[in-house]
Structure 1
Amino acid sequence: MRITVVGAGAIGGFFACKLFDAGHDVSVVARGATLAAIQEHGLRLQTGHDLLIAPLRATSEPEELGTQDLVIFAVKAPSLPIAVQNAKALIGPHTVIIPAINGLPWWYFLKSSAALSGTRLTAVDPDGVIEANLPVDAVIGCVVFPSCTVLSPGVIEHISGSKIAFGELDGTKSRRLSDITHLFEQAGFNAFLCENVREEIWLKLLGNACFNPVSLLVDSSTDEMIDDPLLNDLFIEMMNEILELGIRINVAPEIDARQRIAITRKLGKVKTSMLQDVDGHKPVEIEAILGTLVFVAELAGAPMPRVRAVYALARMRAKKLGVLPG
C-alpha cells in the first residue's frame, strides 16, 4: 500500500518503520531536524538491542507524495489542525484515514447514535478545521497502546507494547477495517478490530487523564506515581469519576480503576508523553486529554471534582512552563 505517516515522532516513527519493514511504500511528513536526520540517515527504530533502519521517503511538502491509500496522522493534538490542512493533497476519494492521537478525538460524538450524538469537541477542533478537511466517512478509529520515545531526531525507541485497536466509527465490521487490521498484524503489531472503538478510547483515556497531567505536576514516571499510596488513591478516585461519566454517556469499558492502574504498572518505568513534551518544551495535550473530559462532564451534568482540580492545576503548571497551547 501507499502509506504516508504525518509526523515522525515517537508513535509516527514507530509505525512508519514497522510498516516500511513489512514491505509497504511508506513516506513520512516531517520537518526541521527530524526531516534532515531521516533524509540523511533514514528513520531508525531501536527495540531492545535491535536496530531497524528504514530508508524511506521524507518530506515537508505532502504535495510531492500524491494521493495515498492510507494516511496516518501521528502528531500531537495541538498540531493536528495545521497538519490536516497541509496534508490535503494526500487524501483522495478512497483514502483511509487513521488518526493515531491521544485523548478524545474530534469525531468521538460524530457518526454516533449514542448519548451526546453530534456534539463537536471544540477543545480539540475549535474552528472545525479538522472536521472540514478530514471526511469523517474516511476515518477508522484507532487506539495506540505501545510506549515509545524519541531518543534524538529521527531515532525512536520502542519501550513496550504492540497492542493497537481499530474500529469503524459506526461499529460495523467492514472489509477495509479487516484489511487495515491485517496489514498491521503482518507488520508485527498486536492489532485487533473492535465493534466499539469508543470504549477502547475511553479505556486508554482512563490512564492518560490521570498519569499524564499528574506527571506534569510532580515530574515523575508512572511507576513512581503508582507506587506512592496517596497518588494511587488519587488515581483511583479520578478513574472512578471518569468511569461514572462514561456510564452517563453510554460508554462503559469492562474494567475498574485498580485493574486499569495495574495495566500501566506492569509496563514498569514509563515517562508519560506529556512529561516528554515538557522536557522538549513542546505544547502539551492538556485540552485533548483533560479539557475534553471537563467539557463532556459539563454537558452530562457530572461533577468530577478531582478531575477538574487536576485539570486546573496542570493547566496552570503548563502555562507557567510555557507549554500551554495557545
Structure 2
Amino acid sequence: MPGLKICVAGVGAMGGMLAGMLARTDVDLSLVARGETLRTLREKGLTVHDGQSARIVRCAANTRAPDTVQDVVILAAKSQQLPALAACVSHAVGPQTLVVPVVNGLPWWMTLPTGSPCGAARACVDPGGELARAFPPARVVGCVAYAFASLDAPAVVRSAKAPTLVLGRVQGGNADDPEVAALVQVLDAAGVVITRSPDIRCDVWAKLAVNLATNPLSVVCEETLGGLVAAPPTRQVVRDMLEEAVTIGRACGFGPLRSVDEQLGSIAVADGHRTSMLQDYQAGRALELDAIGYAVMRVGAVCGVAMPVTATILRLADFKAARPDRQGNR
C-alpha cells in the first residue's frame, strides 16, 4: 500500500534485512539505531548483501522514531533491548499504528493474559512493564521470523534468501483484517514471504522450541545448526530439549505442534548457519538467555514439566557468557 509510514526500530541482522527490502518499495521508511550503527547509517548508508551483489540503502535514521505517528512500527531488537527501545518509539504509536515485534524468545504480549501459564515468565521479558504500557495488545501483530541473516559489521547485513514472516493479530482481527492486509501487501511487494496465522501463539511456541533447543547449545559447543544435528551426541541433546519444550507447549494448549523429528529435519536444512545467539556470543554481545531459555523454564514450572536437559545447557551457556576472557567481558 503506497505511502505507509513505517519505522524499523533496531538495525541488526533482521532489522537491517527488512529495512533493505522495504526500501525498494514506496513506503515512507525511517530507522531507529544508535552508536556505531547510527553513525554508519548516516555516513555510508545501510549495506545489504543478498548473496550476489551488495546494495547501499539510504534513508532517515535517528536515535528515536519520527515525531509523526507511524502506520507501522517494526521492533527488531534483542529482547533485553526492547524496554529501552520502547521509550524511543512509543511517541510514534497512535490509535491506528500496528506494532510488529520481530523478536526471538517468548514475546512480552504472550505473558499478559491473567492466569495463563505464560504469565509466570513476565519478569523475564518485561520486568518493569514498559512494553505492556507502551504497546496496547490490540495494536500488536505477533510475528515469527524464519530468516538466515547475519551482521558483518554495524549496518552491514548479509542474507542470501528472502525471509518468511508468520503474522497474526495478538488480540482480535480476522482473516479479512484490512490493516494487516495493507501491511502484508507492502511486505509482499518488498519480497518478504508472508504467512498469516489464525493463532500466532502456536507459531511462536513452535519457533521458540527450536530456538531453545539450538541457540544456547550452539554457544556451549560453538557449532552451527547443521553441526549440532549431524553429530549423534549433540543431536540427542537437541532432541531432548525439543521434547521438553513441546511438552510445555502442549500443556499450555498451543497446537498442533510439529513432531520432534519434523523439527530436527528443519534444523538440518539450515546446515552451516550460526544461530543469532552464537553470533552474539562471538561478537561479545549480551545473550538472550532470559527470553529464549529461562522464560520457558518458568512456564514449565507452572505446568509441572521438568526440564533437566534445558536447565543444564542454560547453566553452561551462562558460564561461557560470563567468562572473563570472552570478548566484551575484558
Query: TM range, normalised to the smaller chain?
Result: over 0.9
Select which of 231, 235, 245 maps to 1:242: 245
Quick check: 2:72–2:97 contact (8 Å CA) kept in 1? yes
User: 1:228-284 CA deviation, whole Å, 9 max, x = no partner?
Assistant: 101101111111111111111101243111211211211220111111111221111
The answer to whether 1:100 aligns with 2:102 is yes
Query: 2-side partners of 1:117 and 1:206: how far apart?
Result: 14
Please name the residue that 2:149 is paired with: 148
Partner of 1:13: 16
1:168 is aligned to: 169
What is the alpha-carbon distance in structure 1 between the residues aligned to residue 224 and residue 196 of structure 2?
A: 30
Q: Is the 8 A contact 2:218 2:225 kept in 1?
A: yes
- What runs of 5+ residues in structure 1 fail to find an aligned partner? none
Report Cα offsets for 1:191-220 as digits up to 9, x if no partner: 011101111111111211011100111111
Q: Pairwise mapping of residues 102-141 of structure 1 onto structure 2 (< 5 A)?
A: 102-110=104-112, 115-116=116-117, 121-141=122-142
Map 1:209-228; keep pairs closer than 5 Å: 209-228=212-231
- Partners of 1:74 and 1:238 in 2: CA distance: 26
Q: Does 1:203 align with 2:171?
A: no
Q: Conserved in 2, the CA contact under 8 Å of 1:284 and 1:324?
A: no
Please state whether the residue corresponding to 2:180 is helix, strand or coil.
Answer: helix
The residue that corresponds to 2:43 in the other structure is 40
- 1:196 to 1:292, Cα distance in 2 relative to 1, 3 A: same
Question: 2:31 matched to 1:23?
Answer: no
Q: Please give the alpha-carbon distance, in whole angstroms, between the structure 1 residues aligned to 2:319 and 2:118.
A: 31
Choose from 309, 316, 321 the match for 1:318. Answer: 321
Contact 1:4-1:68 within 8 A present in 2 as well: yes
Tell me which of 83, 89, 92 is aligned to 1:90: 92
Instruction: State TM-score, norm by structure 1.
Output: 0.93
Contact 1:171 1:197 in 2 (8 A): no
1:159 positional shift: 3.8
CA RMSD of aligned residues (A): 2.0
Match of 1:278 in 2: 281
2: CA distance between counterparts of 1:12 and 1:311? 26
TM-score of the two chains, using structure 2 as the length reference: 0.92
Larger mean CA deviation between 284-293 and 49-58 belongs to 49-58
Deviation at 1:66, TM superposition (A): 2.4
Cα displacement (A) at 1:118: 5.6
Partners of 1:80 and 1:293 lie apart in 2 by: 18
One-letter identity of the residue aligned with 1:71: V
Q: Secondary structure at the match of 1:104?
A: coil
Structure 1 residue ranges, 4+ long, deviating more than 6 angstroms after superposition: 322-325
The answer to whether 1:50 aligns with 2:61 is: no
Quote the Cα distance in structure 1 between the aligned partners of 2:235 and 2:118: 34
Cα-to-partner distance string for 1:282-305 (whole Å, 9 max, x where unaligned) = 111000000110010111111121
Contact in 2 for aligned 1:2/1:24 (Cα 8 Å)? yes
Tell me if the contact between 1:110 and 1:120 (Cα under 8 Å) persists in the aligned partners: no
Partner of 1:190: 193
Counterpart residue number, 1:81: 83
Amino acid at match of 1:259: E
The runs of 5 or more residues in structure 2 that have no matched partner are none
Other structure's SS at 2:216 match: helix
- Number of residue pairs matched? 323
Q: Tell whether the 8 Å contact from 2:138 to 2:171 is kept in structure 1 after alignment.
A: no
